[in-house]
Amino acid sequence: MEEIAIKIGGCLSAIVGIGHCFFYRGFGWEEDFEKTRVLTAKVLYTIHLFLIPMFFFFSYASLVHTKELAGSTPLGIAMSTFYAVFWLLRELWQITYFRSSMIKGFEKLHYFLVICLFFLWASYSYPIFSHFL
C-alpha cells in the first residue's frame, strides 16, 4: 500500500508540474509583470520556473524509485518526509492565504487545489506513518 501511495503522489506531482507550465499565460502574468518592477517580475518568474523541475523530479523519483521513497532507505524516508511537509505547508497556505483573497471565478480552482494538496500530503506521509504504527 505504501508504494501505491507514492505512485499516486508521483502522478499528482507530474500533474502539478504540467499545470505550472501554464501559469504564465493562464494567470496573465505578462500583463501583470508589465505593471511591476522588472526585478520583482524576474524574481517571481524565476522562483516559479525553477519549481517546475522540482515537481518533475519528485514525479520521476516517485515513479522510478518508489520502494526507496516508501521507506526502504533512510534517504527515501527523508525525501518523503520533506515532500509530505512541503505539501502540508502548501495546503495550509492555500487554505489560509487564498481563502481571504478569493477572486471571483477562481473558487472552484481553490477547492480543487485544497483537495489535490491534501492527497499529495497523504500520499507522501502515509508510508512514513505506516512505519510507526
**Tens digits of per-residue pLDDT, 7-44?**
999 999 999 999 999 988 888 888 988 999 999 999 99
Q: State how far the alpha carbon of 107 is from the alpha carbons of 50, 101, 111, 113, 114, in Å.
A: 27, 10, 6, 10, 11
Give the whole-angstrom CA distance, residue 3 versus residue 115.
21
pLDDT for 101 equals 60
Give the whole-angstrom CA distance, residue 47 versus residue 67.
30
Average pLDDT of the residues of the chain: 90
Where are the alpha helices (H) located in the chain, listed in sequence order? Answer: 2-20, 23-26, 29-34, 38-64, 66-67, 74-97, 107-132
Mean pLDDT of 38-67: 94
Cα–chain center distance at 47:
14
pLDDT for 27 equals 81
pLDDT for 26 equals 81
Mean pLDDT of 79-95: 94
The pTM (predicted TM-score) of the whole model is 0.85
Residue 104 has φ and ψ, to the nearest 5°, of -55, 135
